[in-house]
Amino acid sequence: MRVKNLFSVATGAFLVFLSLLACSIVLAEESDVISLTKDTFKTIVEPEKLILIEFFAPWCGHCKALAPEYEEAATALKAENIKLAKVDCTAETELCAEHEIKGYPTLKVFKDGKASEYNGGRKANLIISYMKKQALPARTAVNIENFDTFKDSDDKVVIGFFNADDQKEFNIFSQISEELRDDFVFGETGQKEVITKAEVKPPAVILYKKFDEGKNVLEGTFTKEELTSFIKKNALPLLAEIGQDNYASYVDSGLPLAFIFYDNDEQRTDLGKEIEPVAKEFKGKVNFVFIDATKFGQHADNINLKQTWPAFGISLPDENLKYPFNQSKEITTESIRDFVDKFVKGEITPSIKSEPIPEKNDDSVFVLVADNFESVVFNDTKDVLVEFYAPWCGHCKKLAPTYEKLGEVYKNVKDKILVAKMDSTENDLPPKAKFQIGGFPTIKLFKAGDNEIVDYSGDRSYESLVEFLDKNAHNKVDLESSTPEPSSSKEPAPTTTAVKDKHEEL
């Protein structure tokens, strides 16, 4: 009897296992994302006119966040006959190496087997919109039958209206449609019925959008720059949430960016009521965005704001200029209008964060801060080699002893060649520095005389740094005669002969 009961229990457990296994198979089959391997890649990808492929790793956090969005987009795009696929790079290492995958997730668009970079967002609606644009020609012919449907086919649709003698404007429109096709749906028409219905006089361009005023109209002759500016400036909402998916669009618009920091929904609503009138008044001059401080509060540091909320500040991303609103003042319609008005008129100077200028600065490597940067670096008499670093940067820490050694060797000729460093997390670059720091460490040589800037791109060895200075510095020095006798506590400095010996790159 006991054996029979045990058999029944075992049979029941086995049936449960089979049931779960069947469910897992069904769930796997329900995915609309195609899994690719080295053996199936070419046979599936090459016949497709258009397919999007995600190269991922199962342990990657960004890949996990993308997964449900990617699945949703794949399901929605089935109706458009656009397929989405994925490759697990931990299993298909050879395939991912073949496609030069260096990070996860990497998305690539394949058209007839040829790959191009995916430049869209990572939310389902953004993936859907981007891939629909890829399936369209750069411009769609618009007529009275498809006009209403076409102008409502995407969040942002650009239609050009032309007569036979508007060839110049048509050529410009055609060129812009090719350049911006990843971001906008473009249509063109010369049909009188459509022109009449749109109530425009050619040449004209209308940006139809599903937000704010619904459309923007550009009538009359235009240049390439004017059309590009018209589209980009009007394609952004009056007040919207900014995040990783749309930040580049705001930077690309070329307008100053005003950040409204909030940390709860009630605060966001109240700030919107105060600032919306100002955003309307300065539309086309400044873009206004909400930014969730619970997610992106650290961005306040980039505008020289304290991480206390609410907060407001304006930045010019291309120039790395920052204009923080005084956080001791209340954010009201009147206070923000006054601040933005003065900013637009050029009456506010940018905020430049700086550590105090050191009282003593006689170490082997000269310490630069924002407040002494221009006077030290932009001079006529000396070459200045500058390392821009971050204290937390591992590569910077590894370079430190080598750079200190370099500074020690050049210390006796610092009136001609000065070795310096600046903590870029605590010091802003002044406006005169027409560049930005993209990573750490970054090393640049500011030459004596004309102040030409030469980027260092060699390996991080002592020999390579000396070789770089020997080749590029305006002032020439004799290190053998200038290098002091080493003390017992310091490593002897190599001679100029030694630095010219062959060395291996890291």
Rounded to the nearest 10 degrees, how much is the dihedral formed by the CA atoms of 161, 164, 168, 173?
30
Tens of pLDDT along 179-218? Answer: 999 889 999 999 999 999 999 999 999 999 999 999 999 9
Closest CA to 405 of 331, 463, 346: 463
The SS3 of residue 71 is helix
What is the second-level CATH architecture of the domain 138-234?
3-Layer(aba) Sandwich (3.40)
Tens of pLDDT along 396-452? Answer: 999 999 999 999 999 999 999 999 999 999 999 988 888 889 899 999 999 998 889
| Residues 97-128: b if buried by 16+ CB within 10 A, e if exposed | eebebeebbbbbbbeeeeeeebebbbbbebbb
Domain 366-472 has CATH 3.40.30.10: yes
Tens of pLDDT along 452-505? Answer: 999 999 999 999 999 999 999 999 998 875 554 443 333 333 332 232 333 222
| Residue recorded with tokens 């749109």 | 198
Query: Known catalytic residues?
Result: 60, 63, 393, 396
The SS3 of residue 423 is strand
Tens of pLDDT along 250-264? Answer: 998 889 999 999 999
Tens of pLDDT along 2-24? Answer: 444 433 444 444 444 444 444 44
Residue 76: pLDDT over 80: yes
Domain 34-133 has CATH 3.30.360.10: no
| Residue recorded with tokens 């989405």 | 84
CA angle 306, 311, 312 (to 5 degrees): 115
Tens of pLDDT along 407-416? Answer: 999 999 999 9
Tens of pLDDT along 87-135? Answer: 999 999 999 999 999 999 999 999 999 999 998 889 999 899 999 989 8
Q: Could you count the other beta carbons within 10 Å of the beta carbon of residue 27?
A: 9
Residue 369: pLDDT over 50: yes
Tens of pLDDT along 34-57? Answer: 999 999 999 999 999 999 999 999
Q: Where are the domains of the chain?
A: 34-133, 138-234, 239-345, 366-472
Mean pLDDT over each residue of the chain, to the nearest integer: 89
Residue length, the chain? 506
Return the DSSP state at 21: H
**Distance of alpha carbon 294 from alpha carbon 310, whole angstroms:** 11
Q: What is residue 318's predicted lDDT score, i.e. its pLDDT? A: 84
Q: What is residue 320's predicted lDDT score, i.e. its pLDDT? A: 86
Are the C-beta atoms of residues 164 and 190 closer than 8 Å to each other? yes
Kindly give, in sequence order, each residue whose CB lies less than 8 Å from that of residue 241, ignoring residues fewer than 6 positions away.
289, 290, 291, 292
**Distance of alpha carbon 381 from alpha carbon 477, whole angstroms:** 13
Per CATH, 34-133 and 138-234 having the same topology is answered yes
Q: What is the mean pLDDT of residues 69-83?
A: 95
Q: What is residue 504's predicted lDDT score, i.e. its pLDDT? A: 26
Full strand arrangement of the beta sheet holding 215-219: 140-141, 185-189, 156-161, 204-209, 215-219
Are the C-beta atoms of residues 230 and 207 closer than 8 Å to each other? yes
Q: CATH number for 239-345: choose from 2.40.30.110, 3.40.630.10, 3.40.30.10, 1.20.1420.20.
A: 3.40.30.10
Q: Is the dihedral of CA 428, 433, 438, 439 positive or negative?
A: negative
Residue 30: pLDDT over 90: no
**Distance of alpha carbon 245 from alpha carbon 506, whole angstroms:** 36
pLDDT band at 245 (very low <50, low <70, confident <90, very high): confident
Q: What is the mean pLDDT of residues 306-323?
A: 94
| Residues 257-296: b if buried by 16+ CB within 10 A, e if exposed | bbbbbbbeeebbeebeebbeebbeebbeebbbbbbbbeeb
Backbone angles phi, psi at 355, to 5 degrees: -75, 160
The SS3 of residue 321 is strand
Q: What is residue 487's predicted lDDT score, i.e. its pLDDT? A: 38
Helices then strands, counting H and E runs in the chain, come out as 18, 20
